[in-house]
Amino acid sequence: MSESLSNSITLSFFIEEPDGILYAQYAPAEAAVPPDLSSLENALQVSEHAGCYIDNSALLAFVKLCRDSKETQKLQIGQRKDAEFILSLADDLLSASLTLIPAVGGKPVGTAVNDALREQGIIHGILHKELDAALAAGRCENLLIAQGDAPRQGVAGRLEPLFGAHKSEVTQRDELAVIKFRELSHLLLVHVGDELMRRIPPVQGKFGMNIRGQVILAKPLPDMAFGANLQGAAPSATNPDLLMATNAGQPVVVDDGVIVNPVLQVPDVDLSTGNISFEGTIHVEGDIKAGMILNVTGDVIVNGLVEAADIIAGGNVAVKGGIIGLAERKPGTQSLSGTTSRIKCGGSVQALFAENAHVEAGDSIRLEQNARQCELIARKEITVGKPGSSVGNILGGKTQAALMISAVSLGSAAGIRTQIQVGFDPYRDAQIHDNQYQIGRKAAELDQLIKLQAFFMTHPEKAAGGIGEKVEAKRLHLLEELDALEKELDELEAEQELIDKASVKIIKKIHEGTEIQIGRHKWQVKEDSGPGNYQIHDGHIAII
């Protein structure tokens, strides 16, 4: 206990160890005047405890105790506090920060901070200038005093497509030139010797070091390489980082390079060619005649007309002329006959017009002029008529799209029944159902494997000979497949949000006899209506 006296006898201050508690003590004496707040504070200021933390409320309480007391009074009025510090290390050990709490009547930190740095093994990236300044000042808060070196991530290698960067010049008189095809359907074709893709190798990153001097490895970047068997393409003989076209066709980017779909050119599709099944893109310089069947994995480009033929394409279908089917109907129905023109593709369909045709597109359908008595189905949009044109009428038949149908006008003054439907995807529900079925089937298979592994735990001899390893590999493979299926299901269900915003956009007029359905809402048009963008609003179809 250390003690200091004031007024010789009556008032004294002392510290009680080891906690450094500061007390004031008053011993009444004859003719002594009890201390008031001012005299108490003055006595503290001239005492050896002036630098301690003082509780002002405790001083007031002590003055009240002493005012009429006949006995010795003692009360805690403060505390001597040594300097403190907090050393914080980041979870990744790439930095350390310091908080200094200054002493109040107590001891400074001295060498304790440097000792703590050594104890924590901090040897790299110490900011000595900042640390010394903080120690001299005696206070700081979350001050950065050590900084490691984060690893510098490299630049991933990539395969960079080159086709389309340089277009070949074509003369006006060359009617079979590539540019003619591009103008028709926005296809890109390449020739033998064209540059397709450049391989750019990765630049590996730089290692780092944490504040404990430990090396932090940069994430290794895999090298990129062209595939060994790319259809219609191969690395250049003089530059292995350059992929060249080895035949003419349509380039398609794949994971490990580019493949070139060969393009088949025919004057017409008729009895002289027979039905055609082809892996690639086909260019028909003339017409596709009635009764013919065309099945290709790529695109179909037709310079002339498509009559009552069947076309199945994995890509786009572009018809410079129109699509003309037979006007016959199935007896007693509004459906098209089995001998009409039928087109189904995975991409988009473009044509001048369509009559008595069944057209399905995995993307969109675009007709420059009219659609008459057709069945049109698109997963995204259907547009009939060019911007600014007065031609673009959908008359009769049934037109269905998931997101939007746009036309200059619908129906006719004669009141011919014309069905328009948006806000549904004819393929999505089937995909979701199939996806859910696959998830259930694979989950059941996974459950059987887990039960088998549990059996192996109690009968390890049954897992001998590599059987256990094969079961585990199969289990991991099933988990990956389930994860992919669940992600695909989430994406399919998210598409419904777009479908909920479906609309019918009309430039001029909707005639009586038209039926518009948006989602589950139907509108039988009883009298001609004007232009507008029709959507669901407050539970009914309205112009938005």
Predicted confidence (pLDDT) per residue in 254-282, tens digit? 888 999 878 878 889 988 888 888 777 89
Least confident piece of the model among 101-105, 169-173, 358-362, 434-438: 169-173
Among 14-18, 262-266, 401-405, 465-469, top mean pLDDT goes to 401-405
Instruction: Give the Cα separation of 370 and 408 in Å (integer).
Output: 9
Q: What is the rounded average pLDDT of the residues 528-543? A: 86
As a whole number, mean pLDDT of residues 517-530 equals 88
Q: Positive or negative CA dihedral for 463, 467, 473, 477?
A: negative
pLDDT tens-digit map of 337-380: 556 899 999 999 999 999 999 999 999 999 999 999 999 999 89
Tokens of 438: 């696959």
Q: What is the pLDDT of residue 1?
A: 47
Give the number of other Cβ atoms within 10 Å of residue 53's Cβ.
Answer: 16
- Indicate if the pLDDT at residue 401 is higher than 90: yes
| Whole-number pLDDT of residue 328 | 59
Pairing of strands 53-54, 73-79: antiparallel
Mean pLDDT of 33-56: 83
Q: Is the pLDDT of residue 395 over 90?
A: yes
Percent of the chain with pLDDT over 90: 39
Confidence tier at 308 by pLDDT (50, 70, 90): very high
The pLDDT of residue 9 is above 60: no
Please give the single-letter amino acid code of residue 226. Answer: F
Q: Is the peptide bond before 235 cis (omega within 30 degrees of 0)?
A: no
221 and 204 Cβ atoms separated by less than 8 Å:
yes
Is residue 176 over pLDDT 70?
no
Structure tokens at 425: 């995807």
Per-domain boundaries in the chain = 2-79, 84-147, 158-260, 277-426+501-543, 428-496
Confidence of residue 182 (pLDDT cuts 50, 70, 90): very low
Strand extents, DSSP E, 17-163: 21-26, 53-54, 73-79, 84-89, 95-101, 140-147, 158-161
Return the pLDDT at 3. Answer: 46
Give the pLDDT mean for 499-518.
Answer: 89
3-state DSSP call for residue 438? helix
Least confident range of 6-20, 288-302, 308-322, 483-497: 6-20
Query: Which DSSP string corresponds to 398-419?
Result: EEEESSEEEEEEES-TT---EE
pLDDT tens-place string over residues 14-29: 888 887 788 888 888 8
* 504 closest CA partner among 519, 516, 513, 514: 516
| Residue 185 predicted with pLDDT over 50 | no
CB-CB contact of 340 with 357 (8 Å) = yes
Can you state the percent helix, strand and coil of the chain, rounding each to 5?
Answer: 20, 35, 40
Beta bridge partners of 360: 344, 377
Q: How many residues does the chain have?
A: 544
What is the structure's pLDDT at 127? 93
Mean pLDDT, the chain, whole residue set: 84
Provide the percentage of residues in the chain whose pLDDT is more than 70. Answer: 90
Task: Give residue-wise pLDDT tens across range 47-89.
Answer: 887 778 788 888 888 888 888 788 888 888 788 888 889 999 9
Predicted TM-score (pTM) of the model is 0.48
pLDDT digits (tens, 9 = 90+) for 225-253: 899 889 999 999 999 999 999 987 778 88
Residues 299, 187 contacting (CB under 8 angstroms): yes
